[in-house]
Structure 1
Amino acid sequence: MLRYGDYTLSDDLITKITAVARHDDLVPSFVICQLCHETALGQHPNSISAREDNNWSGMTWGYDDLDPKTRKSGVQVTPGRKRPAVEGGYYIHYATVEDFLKDYGYLLRNGGFYKTSGAKTLWDHARGLFRLGGAQYDYAGDGSNSEKVFNSYYTSMKTIHDALNADGSLDRIDKGESSNMAGLQSLFSIARQYLNEQMYGSGHRRIVDTYNGQNPLPVGYKLKIDDDWCAAFVTAMSILSGNYALTGGECGVERFVRDVFQKKGIWLGKVRPQAGDIIIFDWDANYWADHIGYVESVSGDTVYTIEGNSGSPSAVRRQSYTWNMWQIKGYDRPKWDYASPAPLSVGGKSIDAIAQEVLTGARSYRIKKNTSSLFE
């Protein structure tokens, strides 16, 4: 959560703003500061349209009629509150804040009205909102003194940025670090115990058994030892680390995307990834997902993964790829910052100790659907 004066931005909205920003090659913290400047993140008492129309930036209805419209972003809108009498017209009404953010990102993206995509500094981002910085229109003011208005606008954004980032919160958001990564840490702690475990070996059999311990089984299917098992690996690791509620479970990769990730609202498509994302592949470019793994880390344009059913012979392996290569269908991002994993301290033992017991077969787990609790 971020706080600026009396206004707060929830972790859920931070995640949504970040997803839009990364999709449109924008720095998340710059977008947050801009929206904070505009309407105090939709909460300023004078920003009635922000609250009633989900319009956090005063976007104006620029059409001659009042019929519903579909914006170039694909977002459907209707007329909202009337603007002040001296200005005339209406604000745009968005059905949801998510619709507003999508439309807003579309305007700021590369090829939109403004020159903010790819900006590396707050100054560059703010300047790109004005003609003097390459924008088609001045974001604020009437264009008569663009330099003066820009300087005032940037000064306000810089003040907001410094206040929000006093404890490094914005830096962590830009780096993709969650406020609480305990759930992800526990998952990787267990997944690393399975590295190099080969198909048909004892580790693989325990992955299959863990997957089959779901009650009920996804689509009612019991995984066989000869089946592809990359999705089962992802599922089993989430079960064993207590993160099942965040990721769900499946043994079919396409179903994982369509029936689990998209329904949970964590499917992002091909955006710049971060540690903890789940990576999805479409090896044949036929629009059918057919491989999956966990993103362990990202460095520059390279993404490093842990995957089950990988390589030859089939095993749990670390791999690396260019983050946007054509075989990658996209990424989903579980809400690790909400993670409160089921305590894996059964009998007072640590996560690592229990992971080793699971690996050696001394302990096994099953999971009930719609819970994240483990039971022996």
Structure 2
Amino acid sequence: MTTIGLEAMVSSMEKLLGLGEPNKVQDWFRQRNGNAYAGNFPWCDASITWAAVDSGNYNEVCFGTDYAYTVAHAARFQAAGEWTPMVNGIQGSGIRRGDIVFFDWAGSSSIGAIDHVGIVTGVSGDTVLTIEGNTANVCARRARAVHDIAGFGRPKYKTPPANVLPAVSLKHVVAAQKADIAGAQGSALHRAEGLLVERALNAKGYLAARWVDGSLGTMTRDAYSAWQKAYSAKHNLHWTGADLNGYAGMTSLKALGLETGLFKATA
């Protein structure tokens, strides 16, 4: 299956992880935009532009324009009505996976003061998880607090049709949970489907990236339980008992897939 939209954008940024400088993003951007970008220029937004082109999200993320200047990029999101200033805290803002997040190290929410940019991979409590180019001269994962975030743009990503979403079988997930928790550390039954469940929990901020390995062990169970409780409370479902114990049921598995758009639940 070909990944499109939000997940394709995140995947393209993941391709750059560990990239130092000078690098291919700088070379690529220079070839497209000329010698004004000669030498070791700041490339955080150039990496966003590269990933947008690489993933087929150039119009959605960059509005058909190459960006190296973060202020101009954030202003374009604002002009399109896709900008949210960080004035209500992490949880209050609704920031989520796939958002293009802009930073002001001085702590303001002013677009004119923006210093840096990255992409959100998940939210964990009051911490935003990102991938950023040109952070300490490399492309790396970071965890950012509200003070540093000026705001974020939310691209209008293409949404894959439901019939092309990967399927996650409830039967397989239940079997994997039983086997993986009882097995050795890192053991994984039905790893591909387990990865989809874990990516969904990571996207919602309940499972750290280090545990997204396809093994549905105790960390994943606890993350699933935390998500169940939050989802039930948010939608006034009054789930109790086995519906909150961290083990998948069809109702919760279907809800997790729909809420994140990462998979469709099947029997």
Q: TM-score, normalised by structure 1?
A: 0.37
Q: How does 1:180-199 map to 2 (within 5 A)?
A: 182-199=4-21
CA distance in 2, matches of 1:228, 1:245: 22
Secondary structure (helix, strand or coil) at the match of 1:296 reads strand
CA distance in 2, matches of 1:240, 1:319: 22
Contact 1:279 1:293 in 2 (8 A): yes
Secondary structure (helix, strand or coil) at the match of 2:41 reads coil
> How much identity, in percent, do the aligned residues show?
31
Which of 48, 70, 80 does residue 253 from structure 1 map onto? 70
Secondary structure (helix, strand or coil) at the match of 1:279 reads strand
The match for 2:140 is 317
* AA of the residue aligned to 2:156: K
Contact 1:278 1:333 in 2 (8 A): yes
Cα offsets for 1:92-127 (capped at 9, x unmatched):
xxxxxxxxxxxxxxxxxxxxxxxxxxxxxxxxxxxx
Cα offsets for 1:62-83 (capped at 9, x unmatched):
xxxxxxxxxxxxxxxxxxxxxx
Contact 1:294 1:306 in 2 (8 A): yes
Contact 2:103 2:150 in 1 (8 A): yes
Secondary structure (helix, strand or coil) at the match of 2:139 reads strand
CA distance in 2, matches of 1:277, 1:318: 15
Q: Which runs of 5+ in 2 are unaligned?
A: 87-92, 162-267
CA distance in 2, matches of 1:328, 1:265: 18
Which of 83, 103, 119 does residue 281 from structure 1 map onto? 103
Secondary structure (helix, strand or coil) at the match of 2:37 reads coil
The match for 2:85 is 269
Contact 2:4 2:56 in 1 (8 A): no
Which of 101, 114, 128 does residue 303 from structure 1 map onto? 128
CA distance in 2, matches of 1:197, 1:242: 21
* AA of the residue aligned to 2:150: K
**Inter-CA distance 329–237: structure 2 relative to 1 (3 Å threshold):** same
Q: How does 1:81-160 map to 2 (within 5 A)?
A: none
Q: TM-score, normalised by structure 2?
A: 0.50
Which of 33, 37, 46 does residue 223 from structure 1 map onto? 37
Q: Compute the RMSD of aligned alpha carbons.
A: 2.4
CA distance in 1, matches of 2:27, 2:53: 11
Which of 287, 290, 294 does residue 115 from structure 2 map onto? 290
Contact 2:20 2:139 in 1 (8 A): yes
Task: Compute the displacement of 1:304 (Å).
Answer: 0.6
Matched, 1:212 2:30: yes
The match for 1:35 is none
CA distance in 1, matches of 2:80, 2:154: 10
Which has the higher Rg, Structure 1 or Structure 2?
1
CA distance in 1, matches of 2:143, 2:61: 22
* AA of the residue aligned to 1:275: R
Task: Compute the displacement of 1:212 (Å).
Answer: 3.3
Secondary structure (helix, strand or coil) at the match of 1:309 reads strand
Contact 2:74 2:152 in 1 (8 A): no
4+ runs of 1 displaced by more than 6 Å?
Answer: none
Q: How does 1:355-370 map to 2 (within 5 A)?
A: none
Greater share of helix residues, 1 or 2?
A: 2
| Number of aligned positions between the proteins | 148
Task: Compute the displacement of 1:187 (Å).
Answer: 1.8
Contact 1:223 1:251 in 2 (8 A): no
